[in-house]
Structure 1
Amino acid sequence: MESIATIVMLIMVSFTSVANALSVNYYDHTCPKVESIVVGAVQKATFNDKTVPAAMLRMHFHDCFIRGCDASVLLESKGKNKAEKDGPPNISLHAFHVIDNAKKAVEAVCPGVVSCADILALAARDAVTLSGGPSWDVPKGRKDGRISKAIETKQLPAPTFNISQLEQSFSQRGLSLDDLVALSGGHTLGFAHCSSFQNRIHNFSPKQNTDPSINPLFANKLQKICPFHNKVNNAGAQLDSSSTRFDNAYYKLLLKGNSIFSSDQALLTHPNTKALVSKFARSQEEFERAFVTSMIKMSSIITSDSGKEIRLNCKHVR
């Protein structure tokens, strides 16, 4: 069995940006209605569940960081193989039905043409736009991968990471510190379970119960939501004060010490990333411009073996 160190080494070698190999016009002749079909599926799901946009954005990020953007996160575990979606960092991923419904609708119009990876990339863009954020042309032409391993989810950047760990994780995938700060802004949407930030509000160190970098009033609020040894699995907190609206509130709260994750706070420990946080806190427009650039860059990452086919069912290889 490959060790994590070996897997990470392989990823460092094989991850590459292939934006030039993708095209925003990829389905113009073979499936011209694909974008309207996907946005319709995301819109319908969001009407029934306001957490769907955050789920789509997070799902796409978690997919691209393992073997590239090849929809491996959508595959089901089979036999002795435990798939990515059943790895510890992905247990809380949800709303897979949105991609399944979109795929079914696309297959009815353009059978065997559109990859699940492209549908997920489009759904992530639509999630941002439907939440009041920017829109952009999504480069398309990804293929679906055939490999999905839960053990590889250990490669995902953890909410406890410091700036050095974050920089290494992103650079292994061809992403810069600028991309790190811009993509972290995706935390403007969504919810965090207590287990993801307990380290900051209970027993932080032998001398301090809470992380000194967190606003004491905010820490107290989080402690009430997530008491020590909390047993409520679905307890947690919204990632920012407008968790269903795509805006720059995340950066404003971060500067006030009201961030949830250690990895959020870490952005203030490096002069370059701190300057960008301040810039994005001042300007929604600057944040959106940077976010779009970094999203296109991230969603255009594949590995040499990440995509080989067009799945007919996003849960299973052909």
Structure 2
Amino acid sequence: MTDSSFIAVDAMGGDKGLAVMLAGVARARHRFPDMRFLLVGDETAIREGLQSHPNLTANSEIVHAPEVVGSSEKAGVALRRAKKTSMGIAIDMVKQGRAGAAVSSGNTGALMAMAKLSLRMLPGIDRPALAAMLPTLGDNDVVVLDLGANTECDARNLIQFAVMGAAYARTNMDLASPRVALLNIGSEDQKGTDEIRDAAAALREATHLPLTFTGFIEGDRLSRGEVDVIVCDGFSGNIALKTAEGTARFVADLLKRAFRSSIRSKIGFLISKPATELLRHHLDPNIHNGAVFLGLNGIVVKSHGGATELGVATAIAAAAKMVRDDLTRRISEDLGNFEAKVA
């Protein structure tokens, strides 16, 4: 049995260090008083850091890990040290059933390799997919997957990603039948690779699943809020994600430059400050932090390496919600229903 009341946190992962990780855990604890934590890392350093967060003492246990995975360390090298690292031990807490989910801000490649080897795949899932929420102009964010776990995918992989992404959207956004689209170079049926067209044909027939397949979507519509889930291979998804992040920074930098260009512009900035603050908040990656490896026999959430304490808290909250709503069971049931229908 899994103790779903605990979240295992790789306290040593991330670019900003232990202090920010503990501050993020403390922030999540304030938002969700019933949450409990396994803080994995250097026991002496964590115990010292907890002195600044007395509210965590009664709700946390320290699990000692003598080593840390480096941010640029190769996945194969990190994998051989998994049993001694804070990242590997945090994942192992999920495998042992001592925690419902693991959260790490560390090396993405190492995290995926360790999670896949330790937890294995759910029955019927060939590969894990990295999924994250991106902001849109609509009422909800959009789930995008895969964001880099698989550079090449066949039709079967894309179908599995669609099923997993829809289950995630149902859990995270409380949607009964999420709108799902495949990322493509055009919206017409004849556009795209054979794999994309074959996946689309199968999804159009899957009317028994709790999702609504809307067809293809192009890259310039990612943030329009027209769909709830966007499915693609990891190569395309990672490029789309980095392009979106770069565009957001580009717009923000242009606004800063424009507002500093003259006295009149500075006055204009003061007048428009509420609107610019709203824009900054909407595009803040810490508000949307927390990507999950879908398809594993357990929940592992990747927090951005440079996340602030708000970002860490957001990732932990996302993990807790997935545990509470039993996301892995939903994925297994949906995929089982799909395969039974097409068999």
TM-score of the superposition, structure 1-length normalised? 0.26
Which structure is higher in strand share?
2
Higher RCO (C-alpha under 8 Å, 6+ residues apart): 1
Larger Rg: 2
TM-score of the superposition, structure 2-length normalised? 0.25
